[in-house]
Amino acid sequence: MVSNTYNLISPRNKALKEIKFMLHNYNKIDNLIERRKNQLIDRMNLSNAAWLRGINNDSNTFEDVIAGFDEDTQIIRYKQWQNFLSNLFEVIKNVEPFVIYKFLKLKYFNNLDNEQVMKIMNVNESQLRLIANYFNCIVYRYAIKDKLFKEEVQSSVAM
């Protein structure tokens, strides 16, 4: 099964939620970016007064909003994840154990539920949970290396 669990850091809840969200939406990241751009455009103030103010100072004109797409933190984050995941899939395919790539393919590319994944991989629920946890740790470790997350010190010291 998955034996080399060395040097793995378990992702925190916020990081795990983001990892799962981005994996489930990998093929839709371009749509998420477009939706965010539309949200920014919809917030724009299209009044004549706003346009006239924009001639002399910064305002919320269409040109300002379009120029702001490259600086929007959410759009930047989506693009970082898109690039990261496309590279990660190749790394997992070539470096990690095959069972991890198979899990990735079934769970996130084929969008199968846990029951279907267990049946195809011929594993029970606890084994699937172990594979999923190991997979999440791998993604988190590579995400830290790619600076998507900051490494957190996880201490087991009791207070």
pLDDT in tens, the chain (159 residues): 444 444 566 677 889 999 999 999 998 999 999 998 888 877 765 555 655 665 555 555 666 667 677 788 899 999 999 999 999 999 999 999 999 999 999 999 898 999 999 999 999 999 999 999 999 999 999 999 999 988 665 444 443
* Structural domain contains residue 125: yes
Domain extent, residue 57, equals 13-145
pLDDT at residue 6, rounded to an integer: 45
> In total, how many domains does the chain have?
1
| Residue 138, domain member (yes or no) | yes
Contacts of 114 (CB under 8 A, 6+ apart): 125, 128
Task: Say if 158 falls within a structural domain.
Answer: no
Assigned domain for 2 exists:
no
Q: How many CA atoms lie within 13 A of 67 on its CB side?
A: 7
Question: Is residue 3, in this structure, part of any structural domain at all?
Answer: no
Closest CA to 113 of 24, 27, 35, 42: 24
pLDDT for res 59: 55
Model pLDDT, residue 71? 81
